[in-house]
Amino acid sequence: MEHNIEASMSNIMPAPFARSLYYHMARIRRFEDRVVTLVDDNEIAGVCHEYSGQEAVAVGICGALTTSDIVTSTHRGHGHTLAKGGDVGRMFAELLARTGGYNKGRGGSMHIADVGIGIFGANGIVGAGAPIACGAAHKFKAARENRVAVSFFGDGAINQGVLHEAMNLAAIWDLPVIFVCENNQYAISTPLKEVTILDPYVRAQSYGMPGVCVDGMDVEAVYHAALTATERARSGKGPTFIECQTYRYFGHYTGERHMKMNYRSQEELDRWKLRDPITIWAERMMQSGLCAQEEIEAIDAEVNIEIDRGVEFARSSPPPNQAEALDCMYAVPYPNTPAWGVES
Protein backbone atom coordinates (compact mmCIF):
# COMPACT_ATOMS: atom_id res chain seq x y z
CA MET A 1 0.00 0.00 0.00
CA GLU A 2 1.33 3.43 -0.96
CA HIS A 3 1.75 5.87 1.83
CA ASN A 4 1.80 9.46 0.68
CA ILE A 5 2.24 11.53 3.81
CA GLU A 6 1.85 14.93 2.09
CA ALA A 7 -1.30 13.95 0.28
CA SER A 8 -3.05 12.23 3.14
CA MET A 9 -2.26 14.68 5.95
CA SER A 10 -5.39 16.51 6.89
CA ASN A 11 -4.98 20.27 7.16
CA ILE A 12 -7.98 20.56 9.39
CA MET A 13 -7.01 18.08 12.11
CA PRO A 14 -6.27 20.09 15.27
CA ALA A 15 -2.90 19.32 16.89
CA PRO A 16 -4.35 18.25 20.29
CA PHE A 17 -6.59 15.73 18.53
CA ALA A 18 -3.70 14.42 16.43
CA ARG A 19 -1.66 13.95 19.61
CA SER A 20 -4.54 12.22 21.33
CA LEU A 21 -4.63 9.67 18.51
CA TYR A 22 -0.95 9.00 19.19
CA TYR A 23 -1.51 8.83 22.96
CA HIS A 24 -4.30 6.27 22.60
CA MET A 25 -2.31 4.06 20.24
CA ALA A 26 0.80 4.20 22.45
CA ARG A 27 -1.35 3.37 25.49
CA ILE A 28 -2.72 0.23 23.82
CA ARG A 29 0.77 -0.89 22.72
CA ARG A 30 2.28 -0.44 26.20
CA PHE A 31 -0.71 -2.12 27.80
CA GLU A 32 -0.27 -5.20 25.61
CA ASP A 33 3.51 -5.23 26.16
CA ARG A 34 2.83 -5.40 29.87
CA VAL A 35 0.19 -8.09 29.41
CA VAL A 36 2.81 -10.29 27.74
CA THR A 37 5.20 -9.81 30.68
CA LEU A 38 2.48 -10.50 33.23
CA VAL A 39 1.48 -13.70 31.42
CA ASP A 40 5.13 -14.83 31.26
CA ASP A 41 5.48 -14.13 35.00
CA ASN A 42 2.31 -16.14 35.72
CA GLU A 43 0.56 -13.12 37.18
CA ILE A 44 -2.16 -13.45 34.56
CA ALA A 45 -3.74 -16.87 34.34
CA GLY A 46 -5.61 -17.93 31.23
CA VAL A 47 -5.29 -16.55 27.75
CA CYS A 48 -5.14 -13.06 26.28
CA HIS A 49 -5.38 -12.10 22.62
CA GLU A 50 -3.08 -9.14 22.15
CA TYR A 51 -4.10 -6.23 19.96
CA SER A 52 -0.54 -5.05 19.15
CA GLY A 53 -0.23 -3.95 15.52
CA GLN A 54 -3.93 -3.15 15.13
CA GLU A 55 -3.99 0.04 17.25
CA ALA A 56 -4.89 2.37 14.37
CA VAL A 57 -8.18 0.55 13.86
CA ALA A 58 -9.61 0.90 17.36
CA VAL A 59 -8.23 4.42 17.79
CA GLY A 60 -9.25 5.69 14.34
CA ILE A 61 -12.79 4.38 14.76
CA CYS A 62 -13.28 5.46 18.38
CA GLY A 63 -11.78 8.87 17.55
CA ALA A 64 -14.90 9.55 15.50
CA LEU A 65 -17.29 8.51 18.31
CA THR A 66 -18.73 10.34 21.31
CA THR A 67 -18.98 8.88 24.80
CA SER A 68 -22.67 8.12 24.25
CA ASP A 69 -21.94 6.01 21.15
CA ILE A 70 -21.36 2.32 21.84
CA VAL A 71 -19.05 -0.43 20.65
CA THR A 72 -19.30 -4.20 20.74
CA SER A 73 -15.96 -5.94 20.88
CA THR A 74 -14.34 -9.31 20.28
CA HIS A 75 -12.04 -11.84 21.93
CA ARG A 76 -9.21 -9.42 20.95
CA GLY A 77 -10.87 -6.62 22.86
CA HIS A 78 -8.26 -4.73 24.93
CA GLY A 79 -7.65 -2.17 22.18
CA HIS A 80 -11.35 -1.39 21.69
CA THR A 81 -11.91 -0.96 25.42
CA LEU A 82 -8.89 1.30 25.88
CA ALA A 83 -9.70 3.39 22.79
CA LYS A 84 -13.27 3.91 24.04
CA GLY A 85 -11.88 5.26 27.31
CA GLY A 86 -11.50 2.15 29.44
CA ASP A 87 -9.52 2.44 32.67
CA VAL A 88 -6.08 0.82 32.59
CA GLY A 89 -6.10 -0.09 36.31
CA ARG A 90 -9.51 -1.78 36.23
CA MET A 91 -8.49 -3.68 33.09
CA PHE A 92 -5.26 -4.97 34.63
CA ALA A 93 -7.15 -5.85 37.81
CA GLU A 94 -9.60 -7.91 35.75
CA LEU A 95 -6.77 -9.73 33.99
CA LEU A 96 -5.13 -10.44 37.35
CA ALA A 97 -8.49 -11.74 38.66
CA ARG A 98 -8.78 -9.08 41.37
CA THR A 99 -11.93 -7.57 42.86
CA GLY A 100 -10.99 -4.11 41.52
CA GLY A 101 -11.42 -5.39 37.96
CA TYR A 102 -14.21 -4.51 35.58
CA ASN A 103 -15.97 -7.80 36.35
CA LYS A 104 -14.69 -8.02 39.93
CA GLY A 105 -12.09 -10.47 38.64
CA ARG A 106 -14.68 -13.01 37.52
CA GLY A 107 -14.63 -12.49 33.76
CA GLY A 108 -11.07 -12.03 32.54
CA SER A 109 -9.90 -10.68 29.23
CA MET A 110 -12.85 -11.77 27.09
CA HIS A 111 -15.64 -10.34 29.25
CA ILE A 112 -14.56 -6.79 30.00
CA ALA A 113 -17.41 -4.29 29.68
CA ASP A 114 -18.18 -0.74 30.81
CA VAL A 115 -21.70 0.09 29.70
CA GLY A 116 -21.47 3.60 31.20
CA ILE A 117 -18.88 4.65 28.62
CA GLY A 118 -20.39 2.65 25.75
CA ILE A 119 -18.32 -0.53 25.92
CA PHE A 120 -20.92 -3.25 25.44
CA GLY A 121 -18.47 -6.01 26.10
CA ALA A 122 -15.68 -8.11 24.75
CA ASN A 123 -17.07 -11.37 23.38
CA GLY A 124 -15.53 -14.82 23.08
CA ILE A 125 -17.98 -15.90 20.40
CA VAL A 126 -16.84 -14.94 16.91
CA GLY A 127 -19.35 -12.56 15.27
CA ALA A 128 -21.59 -12.36 18.32
CA GLY A 129 -21.16 -8.63 18.87
CA ALA A 130 -22.93 -7.73 15.61
CA PRO A 131 -26.53 -8.46 16.69
CA ILE A 132 -25.87 -6.74 20.03
CA ALA A 133 -24.79 -3.61 18.13
CA CYS A 134 -27.98 -3.85 16.04
CA GLY A 135 -30.08 -4.15 19.19
CA ALA A 136 -28.49 -1.03 20.65
CA ALA A 137 -28.85 0.84 17.35
CA HIS A 138 -32.52 -0.18 17.10
CA LYS A 139 -33.12 1.40 20.49
CA PHE A 140 -31.21 4.56 19.49
CA LYS A 141 -33.36 4.89 16.40
CA ALA A 142 -36.67 4.14 18.16
CA ALA A 143 -35.89 6.65 20.91
CA ARG A 144 -34.64 9.22 18.35
CA GLU A 145 -31.26 9.36 20.07
CA ASN A 146 -28.36 10.71 18.05
CA ARG A 147 -26.14 7.72 18.84
CA VAL A 148 -24.15 5.24 16.81
CA ALA A 149 -23.27 1.58 17.46
CA VAL A 150 -20.01 0.08 16.20
CA SER A 151 -19.54 -3.65 15.78
CA PHE A 152 -15.87 -4.70 15.66
CA PHE A 153 -15.15 -8.18 14.30
CA GLY A 154 -12.29 -10.04 12.66
CA ASP A 155 -11.92 -11.49 9.18
CA GLY A 156 -12.76 -14.83 10.82
CA ALA A 157 -16.33 -13.60 11.40
CA ILE A 158 -16.96 -12.83 7.75
CA ASN A 159 -18.63 -16.17 7.03
CA GLN A 160 -20.60 -16.34 10.27
CA GLY A 161 -24.36 -16.45 9.68
CA VAL A 162 -25.06 -14.17 12.62
CA LEU A 163 -23.02 -11.38 11.03
CA HIS A 164 -25.02 -11.60 7.81
CA GLU A 165 -28.34 -11.60 9.68
CA ALA A 166 -27.18 -8.53 11.57
CA MET A 167 -26.05 -6.74 8.40
CA ASN A 168 -29.34 -7.46 6.71
CA LEU A 169 -31.33 -6.21 9.69
CA ALA A 170 -29.26 -3.04 9.97
CA ALA A 171 -29.69 -2.36 6.25
CA ILE A 172 -33.43 -3.03 6.05
CA TRP A 173 -34.12 -0.84 9.11
CA ASP A 174 -31.52 1.85 8.31
CA LEU A 175 -29.93 1.33 11.71
CA PRO A 176 -27.07 3.60 12.83
CA VAL A 177 -24.47 0.81 12.84
CA ILE A 178 -20.89 0.70 11.62
CA PHE A 179 -19.59 -2.78 10.86
CA VAL A 180 -15.81 -2.72 11.28
CA CYS A 181 -13.99 -5.76 9.90
CA GLU A 182 -10.44 -5.93 11.25
CA ASN A 183 -8.83 -7.94 8.50
CA ASN A 184 -5.59 -8.99 10.17
CA GLN A 185 -5.21 -11.66 7.47
CA TYR A 186 -5.72 -14.73 9.69
CA ALA A 187 -8.32 -16.47 11.80
CA ILE A 188 -6.05 -18.34 14.23
CA SER A 189 -3.79 -19.94 11.57
CA THR A 190 -6.21 -19.86 8.60
CA PRO A 191 -5.45 -17.22 5.95
CA LEU A 192 -8.57 -15.39 4.84
CA LYS A 193 -7.87 -16.17 1.18
CA GLU A 194 -8.19 -19.91 1.84
CA VAL A 195 -11.76 -19.66 3.07
CA THR A 196 -13.28 -16.64 1.35
CA ILE A 197 -13.44 -15.79 -2.33
CA LEU A 198 -14.15 -12.05 -2.17
CA ASP A 199 -12.68 -9.29 -0.03
CA PRO A 200 -14.75 -8.68 3.11
CA TYR A 201 -15.86 -5.16 2.18
CA VAL A 202 -17.47 -6.46 -1.05
CA ARG A 203 -20.07 -8.25 1.08
CA ALA A 204 -21.59 -4.88 1.96
CA GLN A 205 -22.94 -4.60 -1.55
CA SER A 206 -25.27 -7.58 -1.00
CA TYR A 207 -26.95 -5.63 1.78
CA GLY A 208 -27.14 -2.32 -0.04
CA MET A 209 -24.80 -0.49 2.29
CA PRO A 210 -21.57 1.35 1.44
CA GLY A 211 -18.50 -0.86 1.84
CA VAL A 212 -15.01 0.61 1.96
CA CYS A 213 -11.55 -0.87 2.44
CA VAL A 214 -8.98 1.30 4.21
CA ASP A 215 -5.37 1.02 5.28
CA GLY A 216 -5.78 -0.17 8.85
CA MET A 217 -2.21 0.82 9.72
CA ASP A 218 -3.05 4.45 9.00
CA VAL A 219 -4.99 5.99 11.87
CA GLU A 220 -5.94 9.02 9.83
CA ALA A 221 -7.41 6.94 7.00
CA VAL A 222 -9.42 4.88 9.49
CA TYR A 223 -10.60 8.02 11.28
CA HIS A 224 -11.85 9.65 8.08
CA ALA A 225 -13.70 6.49 7.01
CA ALA A 226 -15.30 6.37 10.46
CA LEU A 227 -16.31 10.05 10.29
CA THR A 228 -18.09 9.48 6.97
CA ALA A 229 -19.84 6.42 8.41
CA THR A 230 -20.93 8.21 11.60
CA GLU A 231 -22.31 11.14 9.58
CA ARG A 232 -24.32 8.71 7.46
CA ALA A 233 -25.58 6.86 10.55
CA ARG A 234 -26.49 10.04 12.44
CA SER A 235 -28.41 11.43 9.49
CA GLY A 236 -30.66 8.35 9.43
CA LYS A 237 -29.22 6.85 6.25
CA GLY A 238 -28.20 3.56 7.85
CA PRO A 239 -25.18 1.32 8.20
CA THR A 240 -21.70 1.30 6.65
CA PHE A 241 -19.16 -1.50 6.36
CA ILE A 242 -15.48 -0.60 6.86
CA GLU A 243 -12.78 -3.18 6.22
CA CYS A 244 -9.44 -2.27 7.77
CA GLN A 245 -6.38 -4.04 6.39
CA THR A 246 -4.16 -4.71 9.37
CA TYR A 247 -1.89 -7.24 11.05
CA ARG A 248 -1.40 -8.67 14.52
CA TYR A 249 2.18 -8.67 15.75
CA PHE A 250 1.81 -11.51 18.25
CA GLY A 251 0.30 -14.91 17.64
CA HIS A 252 -3.40 -15.62 17.91
CA TYR A 253 -3.03 -15.59 21.69
CA THR A 254 -0.29 -15.33 24.30
CA GLY A 255 0.39 -19.09 24.34
CA GLU A 256 1.30 -19.19 20.66
CA ARG A 257 4.76 -17.75 21.34
CA HIS A 258 5.69 -21.08 22.91
CA MET A 259 4.36 -23.15 20.01
CA LYS A 260 6.02 -23.93 16.73
CA MET A 261 3.42 -22.64 14.30
CA ASN A 262 4.57 -21.95 10.77
CA TYR A 263 1.54 -20.37 9.20
CA ARG A 264 3.24 -17.02 8.66
CA SER A 265 6.80 -16.04 7.88
CA GLN A 266 9.17 -13.73 9.73
CA GLU A 267 9.57 -11.85 6.45
CA GLU A 268 5.82 -11.16 6.35
CA LEU A 269 5.83 -9.94 9.96
CA ASP A 270 8.84 -7.70 9.32
CA ARG A 271 7.17 -6.23 6.23
CA TRP A 272 4.08 -5.22 8.20
CA LYS A 273 6.18 -3.83 11.03
CA LEU A 274 7.84 -1.44 8.59
CA ARG A 275 4.45 0.24 8.47
CA ASP A 276 3.91 0.30 12.20
CA PRO A 277 0.82 2.46 12.89
CA ILE A 278 2.34 4.30 15.86
CA THR A 279 5.65 5.06 14.14
CA ILE A 280 4.10 6.29 10.92
CA TRP A 281 1.66 8.52 12.77
CA ALA A 282 4.48 10.01 14.87
CA GLU A 283 6.52 10.68 11.72
CA ARG A 284 3.57 12.23 9.93
CA MET A 285 2.75 14.51 12.86
CA MET A 286 6.36 15.69 13.06
CA GLN A 287 6.67 16.25 9.31
CA SER A 288 3.50 18.32 9.27
CA GLY A 289 4.47 20.38 12.32
CA LEU A 290 1.64 19.04 14.48
CA CYS A 291 3.98 17.68 17.12
CA ALA A 292 7.68 17.88 18.03
CA GLN A 293 9.89 14.91 18.94
CA GLU A 294 10.02 16.07 22.59
CA GLU A 295 6.24 16.17 22.79
CA ILE A 296 6.03 12.61 21.53
CA GLU A 297 8.60 11.53 24.13
CA ALA A 298 6.54 13.31 26.79
CA ILE A 299 3.42 11.39 25.73
CA ASP A 300 5.38 8.11 25.85
CA ALA A 301 6.58 8.95 29.38
CA GLU A 302 3.02 9.79 30.46
CA VAL A 303 1.75 6.48 29.05
CA ASN A 304 4.48 4.51 30.84
CA ILE A 305 3.50 6.09 34.16
CA GLU A 306 -0.18 5.33 33.55
CA ILE A 307 0.61 1.69 32.76
CA ASP A 308 2.85 1.31 35.83
CA ARG A 309 0.15 2.79 38.04
CA GLY A 310 -2.46 0.51 36.49
CA VAL A 311 -0.40 -2.58 37.32
CA GLU A 312 0.22 -1.27 40.85
CA PHE A 313 -3.52 -0.74 41.31
CA ALA A 314 -4.24 -4.29 40.10
CA ARG A 315 -1.60 -5.87 42.35
CA SER A 316 -2.88 -4.01 45.40
CA SER A 317 -6.48 -5.01 44.73
CA PRO A 318 -7.62 -8.04 46.81
CA PRO A 319 -8.42 -11.37 45.15
CA PRO A 320 -12.08 -12.49 45.25
CA ASN A 321 -13.33 -14.18 48.40
CA GLN A 322 -14.30 -17.83 47.79
CA ALA A 323 -17.46 -17.47 49.85
CA GLU A 324 -18.66 -14.83 47.37
CA ALA A 325 -18.00 -16.95 44.27
CA LEU A 326 -21.65 -16.95 43.20
CA ASP A 327 -22.25 -13.25 43.82
CA CYS A 328 -22.91 -11.25 40.65
CA MET A 329 -23.70 -14.41 38.68
CA TYR A 330 -27.44 -13.74 38.45
CA ALA A 331 -29.27 -10.45 38.01
CA VAL A 332 -31.74 -11.60 40.67
CA PRO A 333 -30.13 -14.16 43.03
CA TYR A 334 -32.22 -17.19 43.93
CA PRO A 335 -32.74 -16.79 47.68
CA ASN A 336 -33.18 -20.50 48.43
CA THR A 337 -30.61 -21.92 46.06
CA PRO A 338 -27.62 -23.45 47.82
CA ALA A 339 -24.20 -22.71 46.38
CA TRP A 340 -23.00 -25.28 43.86
CA GLY A 341 -21.30 -28.22 45.48
CA VAL A 342 -22.92 -27.52 48.88
CA GLU A 343 -25.26 -30.21 50.22
CA SER A 344 -28.62 -28.79 51.34
Ligand X SMILES: Cc1ncc(C[n+]2csc(CCOP(=O)(O)OP(=O)(O)O)c2C)c(N)n1
Helix axes of 88-95 and 293-316: crossing angle, nearest 10 degrees: 50
Which CB, 52 or 240, lies closer to ligand X?
Answer: 52
- Per DSSP, the residues of 268-289 read HHHHHHTT-HHHHHHHHHHHTT
Among 89, 154, 239, 310, binds Mg ion (CB under 5 A): 154
| Sign, Cα dihedral of 325, 327, 329, 334 | positive
State phi, psi for 268 to the nearest 5 degrees.
Answer: -65, -45
Give the x-and-dash track for 92-131 against ligand X (CB under 6 A). Answer: --------------------------------xxx-----
Smallest gap from residue 124 Cβ to Mg ion (A): 15
Among 32, 50, 94, 155, binds ligand X (CB under 6 A): 155
Site for ligand X in 292-331 (CB under 6 A): none
- d(CA 91, CA 103) in angstroms, rounded, equals 9
- d(CA 62, CA 114) in angstroms, rounded, equals 15
Which CB, 123 or 230, lies closer to ligand X?
Answer: 123
| Interacting residues of 159 by C-beta distance below 8 A, sequence separation 6+ | 195, 196
252 interacts with ligand X by CB under 6 A: yes
Give the binding-site size for ligand X (rule: CB under 6 A): 15
Which CB, 74 or 240, lies closer to ligand X?
Answer: 74
Residue 186 · residue 272 · CB < 8 Å: no
Which CB, 28 or 157, lies closer to Mg ion?
Answer: 157
> Is 211 strand, coil or helix?
strand
Nearest to 52 by CA among 70, 34, 28, 35: 28
Smallest gap from residue 108 Cβ to ligand X (A): 14
Give the x-and-dash track for 170-189 against Mg ion (CB under 5 A). Answer: --------------x--x--
203 interacts with ligand X by CB under 6 A: no
Smallest gap from residue 156 Cβ to Mg ion (A): 5
Site for ligand X in 32-51 (CB under 6 A): 49
The two beta strands, 240-245 and 211-215, are parallel
Which CB, 149 or 244, lies closer to ligand X?
Answer: 244
Residue 300 · residue 26 · CB < 8 Å: yes
75 interacts with ligand X by CB under 6 A: yes
Binding residues for ligand X, rule: CB under 6 A, are 49, 75-76, 124-126, 154-157, 184, 186-188, 252
Binding residues for Mg ion, rule: CB under 5 A, are 154-156, 184, 187
